[in-house]
Amino acid sequence: MSNILQLSNFGRKLTEKSGIVDLMNDLGEAVALRPDMLMLGGGNPAAIPEMQALWRESAGAFLSNQPAFDKSLASYDSPQGDPFFLDAVASMFSDRFHLPIASENVAVVSGAQLGMFCLLNLLAGEAPGGRKRKVLIPASPEYVGYADMGVEPDLFVACPAKITYPDPNDLSTFKYVVDFEALEDLVQTEDVAAVLVSRPTNPSGNVLTRDELAKLERLAERIDAWLIIDNAYGGPFPGIIEDEKELDSVFWGKRTILTYSLSKIGLPGLRTGFIIAPSEIVERITSLTAIVGLANGSLGQRIAQPFFETGKILDVSRTIVRPYYQRRRRRAVERLKDEFKKAGIDARIHKSEGSFFLLAWFPELQSGSRTLYRLLKERGVLVIPCDEFFYGLPIAERSTRNFIFEASRTQMLRISFSAPEETVEKGFQMIAQITSELLALEKSNY
């Protein structure tokens, strides 16, 4: 059989076994086999009743507008996106945030994930003349969903984030910051096409400061690269971010590319996102969409369009989505810390500034986050072990120079708090209990 299926390099690279694909299959299987599993692992947003009602209402209005509905289902959109949707998005960004964004700067994509795949492979990889350029992750760990996106091998180079403690008297809360000195060293030897950050960052819930973004943009400009900011959880929508000011402005510079998703505001099933970028990039993304998919699905654009036309997407982010996750986040942090304390574990949680994940770090864990993940799965709780979020790191980093960072790579779990509250709290209790059992076992084996 294997002789028949002779794959291209592209075919191999994108379908060969990878850690994250195995992990995703494992998670999917576990959920299918055990419906009672406490699911604290996936990227699904919370079901917020007010948002669900608003989306149903908008879908209902679209459905009852027979000519628009029939036309939408019976025809392909332009590969850049429906012109009315593009206009609505561009006008919202230009009117509300005073940015020089017109519809030629917006490209719809079938989910931010696919959009990022197109963008990264468009910019990085081998260019005519043999020059090979990379995507720079300035503060590892970063979203695992990027890790296998390269059509070519070794697309990424990453710089370890600095581990800091915002309150030196409280070691239970840590925070990553960009290590600009190490970044400067890295760009001396690496040819970088794009600097990539998710903000808020998946898995840590970190939100790079505007100062950090401005420095990254200056760096990108200096090395003739782009700064790509993935706003899947951020401002101005969906607003799953602690700092309310983030909803009032959008970071923008000459070298910035912004990506957005409708998923985390409640529509992951509609697979719709968009990119805001200089028109020459939008044109290329449009060509890629035409080639790989002809056009994007139209339903997400139609259902969300009134929200962009009226600016309601900003209002609901401010009045429904942000407060909802803020309440959930504050309770989740308190409950998880409480459970760890009761179990007597030395556990640290990344300062939760956005997204709906808590990154828990167990500095005493020796058998690794995969072992802990498997034990938790056996006992009915699903989380994500974070070793795969640390990709693209130069081998030199695996030295004593950054010993604590290096050890931490296999000591972290990403725990979602978007599931119903009872599920989350039951899951937290079990995580604390099972982790303390494992740590005790490790100690007794010494």
Ligand X SMILES: Cc1ncc(COP(=O)(O)O)c(C=O)c1O
Task: Provide the minimum distance between the beta carbon of 274 and ligand X in the complex, in angstroms, as a whole number.
Answer: 9
The answer to whether the beta carbons of residues 280 and 104 sit under 8 Å apart is no
Q: Where are the alpha helices (DSSP H) in 250-400?
A: 279-293, 299-309, 312-316, 322-343, 369-378
Between 79 and 145, name the residue whose CB sits nearer to ligand X. Answer: 145
Between 145 and 235, name the residue whose CB sits nearer to ligand X. Answer: 145
The closest alpha carbon to 227, from 326, 119, 118, belongs to: 119
Task: Provide the minimum distance between the beta carbon of 142 and ligand X in the complex, in angstroms, as a whole number.
Answer: 9
Both tokens of 446, joined, read 């010494």
Task: Provide the minimum distance between the beta carbon of 287 and ligand X in the complex, in angstroms, as a whole number.
Answer: 20
* Angstrom distance (rounded) from CA 181 to CA 113: 30
The answer to whether the beta carbons of residues 325 and 355 sit under 8 Å apart is no
Task: Provide the minimum distance between the beta carbon of 149 and ligand X in the complex, in angstroms, as a whole number.
Answer: 11
* Angstrom distance (rounded) from CA 183 to CA 257: 20
Q: Which residues contact 326 (CB under 8 A, 6 or more apart)?
A: 242
Task: Provide the minimum distance between the beta carbon of 201 and ligand X in the complex, in angstroms, as a whole number.
Answer: 8
Task: Provide the minimum distance between the beta carbon of 125 and ligand X in the complex, in angstroms, as a whole number.
Answer: 20
Between 79 and 238, name the residue whose CB sits nearer to ligand X. Answer: 238
Q: Interface residues with ligand X (CB under 6 A)?
A: 43, 111-113, 143, 145, 198, 202, 230, 232, 261, 263, 268, 273
Between 260 and 340, name the residue whose CB sits nearer to ligand X. Answer: 260
The closest alpha carbon to 221, from 266, 260, 254, 184, belongs to: 254
Q: How many CB atoms are closer than 10 A to CB 384?
A: 27
Task: Provide the minimum distance between the beta carbon of 418 and ligand X in the complex, in angstroms, as a whole number.
Answer: 11
Task: Provide the minimum distance between the beta carbon of 144 and ligand X in the complex, in angstroms, as a whole number.
Answer: 9
**Which regions of 37-149 does DSSP assign to beta strands (E)?**
38-39, 106-109, 125-126, 132-140
Between 261 and 352, name the residue whose CB sits nearer to ligand X. Answer: 261
Task: Provide the minimum distance between the beta carbon of 438 and ligand X in the complex, in angstroms, as a whole number.
Answer: 28
Between 149 and 314, name the residue whose CB sits nearer to ligand X. Answer: 149
Between 39 and 347, name the residue whose CB sits nearer to ligand X. Answer: 39
Q: What are phi and psi of 139, to 5 degrees?
A: -145, 80
Distances (CA, A) of 156 to 96, 151, 295, 397: 35, 11, 29, 15
Between 339 and 387, name the residue whose CB sits nearer to ligand X. Answer: 387
Between 187 and 413, name the residue whose CB sits nearer to ligand X. Answer: 413
The answer to whether the beta carbons of residues 109 and 285 sit under 8 Å apart is yes
The answer to whether the beta carbons of residues 417 and 332 sit under 8 Å apart is yes
Distances (CA, A) of 8 to 17, 126, 154, 278: 15, 17, 17, 33
